[in-house]
Each structure stands twice: as structure tokens, then as C-alpha cells.
Amino acid sequence: MSTTTTDVQSHGGHGEHEHNPYHQHHFTTMEQQFDTSKLGMWLFIVTEILLFGGLFVGFGLMQHRYPREFIEAHEHLKQLIGGHPFPLYGAVNTIVLLVSSWTMVMGVNAAQTNQKDKTVRYLVITILLACVFLVIKYVEYSHKFADHLLPGMFYGHQAEDLIKGTHGYATFFAFYFMMTGLHGIHVLVGIVLLSWLAMRAKRGDFTSEYYTPVDLVGLYWHVVDMIWIYLFPLYYLIS
């Protein structure tokens, strides 16, 4: 009897004997349901790419307009390490996000393979890394606030190498705070989503049959990482 049951399931996939509680009846199979959700997530990701893409294009335009100011202003994102300017905060945050992407994908893998405890553990580590990212961001922003390196009309840095209130520097910091701020909001949303996932995973909601939320939040988290992959060289490295 048991062999015939597994046969029906593996071939047909309708699973009428064991109806998965998360199987919505307007989908024929769990797999179809999963693929549909994933397709929708990818469409959302495209809107994210275009949202940040527009900001990157604006940044490129303004860099072309104020090349000298942008290069001078970006030096303020670096810290002196052993007498040499180095983008410490940016580089550390890049590593933090890359590692968090890895823990995320390991979490998805654990959910796929029915390893409940491992899923929870990887999700919690991902949340902690996201918090580390935001703490570093907070320290970085605090330095900028203290130096009055603020966007647009609030700009008021008084150092010798920068002239107070010039358009180029104010524009650079307007883009800097807009783009890293919007990215930071995405990290914050990610923390909320990951916490929700961790709670559900602990409750035992996810199995190899149903792990759609883990997979989709994973995709979202990798997009956040991907945006930072472009933000880091453009803001912290280009000279």
C-alpha cells in the first residue's frame, strides 16, 4: 500500500491523499504554486532594479556635471588607516552583507532539506549580520552629521578643502544619503521579514514541500546585497 501511495505522489504530484495545509486549491500542484510565487517575486525584483537604477543614472549625471567636487567629497567616506585613506566602513559592510547572503542561502538550503533547527540558526545569524550592517551605518552617518556633511540645503561643512554650500558637494551628499538611506530601509525591512521567517521556521511551518516564504525573502535579501555590490565601488572607491 505504502509503495503505491508514494508512486502516485511522485508521478502525479496531485497529493490528494496528503493535502499540504499550505496548498491553495486554485493551484494544481505545490510546485506550480511555488513557481507562480517565484515569478511574482522576480517581477518585484525588476521594479527594485529599476528603482535603484534611476538613482544610479542620476548619480552618474551629477558626477559628470561636478567631477572635481564628487571626487573630493568621496574622500570624506574614507578613514585614515595607517596614514592611508581607506574606505573602512564601506569595505567592512560589503563583507558583512556578502556573508549574510551566504547564511541566507544556507538557511534556504536547510529549509529545503527539512533541517528545522539549522534553518532557524542560519536565519538568526542573517538577522544579526543585518543588525551589524546597520550599526556600522549608524556610526558612519554620525560622523557625517558631526561634520555637517549633509544633503542639499543642509550642507555646511567648513573644512578648508571644501567651500561651504557648493552645489557639487551638497549634491554628492544628497545622493549619498538618498541611496544608502533607501538601501538601509531595505535592510530594515529585511530584518522584519527575516524575524517573521525565523518565528515561522521555529514553529515548524517549513518543509521540503513548502518553503516558499524562505526562498522569496532569500531572493529579496540577495537583491539588497546586489545593490550594495554596486553602491560600494561607486561611492567609496572611485577616485
Q: Kind and range of the H or E element at 85? A: strand 84-86
Q: Kind and range of the H or E element at 81? A: strand 79-81
Which of 19, 28, 32, 61 lies at the binding interface for another protein (CB under 8 A)? 61
* Residue 193 sits in the site that holds another protein (CB under 8 A): no
* Residue 53 sits in the site that holds another protein (CB under 8 A): yes
As a whole number of angstroms, the distance between CA 164 and CA 185 comes to 29
* Residue 31 sits in the site that holds another protein (CB under 8 A): yes
Q: Kind and range of the H or E element at 133? A: helix 116-146
Query: What residues from 83 to 122 belong to the interface with another protein (CB under 8 A)?
Result: 87, 91, 94-95, 98-99, 101-102, 104-106, 109, 112-113
Are the C-beta atoms of 37 and 212 separated by less than 8 Å?
yes
* Residue 36 sits in the site that holds another protein (CB under 8 A): no
* Residue 226 sits in the site that holds another protein (CB under 8 A): yes
* Residue 204 sits in the site that holds another protein (CB under 8 A): no
Which of 168, 172, 186, 206 lies at the binding interface for another protein (CB under 8 A)? 168
Phi-psi region of 113 (alpha: psi -120 to 50; beta: other; left: phi over 0): alpha
As a whole number of angstroms, the distance between CA 231 and CA 45 comes to 17
* Residue 140 sits in the site that holds another protein (CB under 8 A): no
Please give the grid coordinates belonging to residue 117: 533547527
Please name which of 129, 158, 137 lies closest in space to residue 77, comparing C-alpha atoms: 137
Interface residues with another protein (CB under 8 A) are: 6, 9-10, 13, 30-31, 34-35, 38-39, 42-43, 45-46, 49-50, 53-54, 56-57, 60-61, 64-68, 87, 91, 94-95, 98-99, 101-102, 104-106, 109, 112-113, 166-168, 208-209, 218-219, 222, 225-226, 229-230, 232-234, 237-239
